[in-house]
Copies of this chain bind each other. A is one copy, B any other.
Amino acid sequence: MEHKTIFKNREVLKVNGERLWSRMMEMAQIGGTPKGGVCRVTLTEEDKKGRDLFIKWCEDAGCTIEIDQMGNLFARRAGKRADLNPILMGSHLDSQPTGGKYDGVYGVLAALEVIESLNDLDIVTEAPIEIVSWTNEEGARFSPAMIGSGVFTGEFTLEYAYNQKDKEGVTLGEALDQIGYKGEFPIGERTYAASIEVHIEQGPILEAEKKSIGVVTGVQGIRWYDLKVKGKETHAGPCPMHLRKDPVKATLPILNEIYQLAEQFAPDSRATIGDIVPTPAVRNTVPSELNITVDLRHPQSEILDEMHYRLQEIISQYHNQNGIEVTLEEIWHSPPVAFAQDVIEAIQASVEDLKVPHMKMVSGAGHDSVYLSRVTPTAMIFIPCEDGLSHNELEKAEKEDVINGADVLLNTALKLAMY
């Protein structure tokens, strides 16, 4: 589709950047940490406060709020034609336990800013426009990540999601009830003409290339594994080293090979060991076992599959060596995603209209847009974040880039909503 430049008073349309910035700083107070980060973990009291504030802002902007059974929040601005499917914009308001002020919340508040700017500009689109904030994108409290959009798009059942437990044994369903955000609206019964998510890059590429906007054409594939290395618990004193079945010692070469696996498929491959849990975790006891998480990523399906097979080979090579059991369970697989050409083109046309430095790129992180793209034409807009730092209290984005991203979102939404 050809996308026309949208002018008003001979100017390309822009958002109110100061308002967006001040809303972001206000939201960052909720769960704000002394180091300047945010702890607004999903379905906690802090998350509830963030949701409450967001809904108030949306209502003030004239939106209609609907909350679905997963606690996903939808704020709708009517278009001229109620028969058209709306354009969806948004991301998530939850954060990592030691997260930053930009991850997720930027995409939600940029979408709100688009609607407030349309109000200011007195523009009514043909199609309605909706903002969404998805529940539990981070996966920090309840596994898996992106479960709100996952249930929405049919990846998981509602029952599965409700039964997921946090470390204290609280289920996601109970946690939704506890903060009063288990909505009535049937999950998934909403259809959209297109979906756009603006987000910080969470990587160092745009900064290194000195670009303000990334036109995101797809997302890396991800495979998650639980690795268990089982030895034998023994007292740290009496048992000689050569008689031990020490799972810590046995783990070292395995993790080394996993890092080497990533190197073999450099530069686009990723291997991350995020968590290691020894049992019983006592200073003077050789652990009986280690439970370890493994996260492998690559933008090409065939290469990610190859990494998957090689990982299994590594595991089988170490299994049953010296009395150590090594087992691997794949718990999640998100294949690489190619975003919708038409939405990419609308974003590309918008960055050209706005004349901001930009590049096409692939996302290294998973996003709700991965699931959305299965049911709706979807693409993403990235802005740089300092040093590529994310999931970190020091996460930082430049105000100029934050505003550029919202301007791109505004113009893209207008093109797609047929203004």
A interface, CB within 8 angstroms of B: 96-98, 139-140, 143, 145, 201-205, 208, 220, 222, 224, 232-243, 246, 248-249, 252, 255-256, 259, 262-263, 266-267, 269-278, 280-288, 290, 293, 295, 297, 363-366, 388-392
Residue contact A391 to B237, C-beta cutoff 8 Å: no
Residue contact A205 to B267, C-beta cutoff 8 Å: no
Q: Which of B204, B205, B236, B389 contacts A270 (CB 8 A)?
A: B236
Copies of the protein in its oligomer: 2
A135 to chain B, nearest CB (A): 17
Residues of B within 8 A of A273 (CB): 246, 248-249
Q: Do A274 and B252 contact each other (CB < 8 Å), given the known contacts A203-B239, A242-B266, A364-B235?
A: no
Residue contact A237 to B283, C-beta cutoff 8 Å: no
Residue contact A204 to B98, C-beta cutoff 8 Å: no
Residue contact A238 to B202, C-beta cutoff 8 Å: yes
> In the docked arrangement, what's the CA distance between A97 and B279, Å?
10
User: What are 23 of the A-B contact pairs (CB < 8 Å)?
Assistant: A97-B280, A97-B282, A98-B233, A139-B283, A202-B237, A203-B238, A203-B239, A204-B238, A204-B239, A205-B239, A205-B243, A236-B274, A236-B295, A236-B365, A238-B363, A238-B388, A239-B270, A272-B284, A272-B285, A275-B282, A276-B290, A280-B391, A284-B366
A131 to chain B, nearest CB (A): 24
Residues of B within 8 A of A236 (CB): 270, 272, 274, 295, 297, 364-365
For chain A, what secondary structure do more than half of its interface residues adopt (helix, strand, loop), or is it mixed? loop
Residues of B within 8 A of A145 (CB): 284
> In the docked arrangement, what's the CA distance between A222 and B201, Å?
49
Residue contact A233 to B363, C-beta cutoff 8 Å: no
> In the docked arrangement, what's the CA distance between A133 and B59, Å?
75
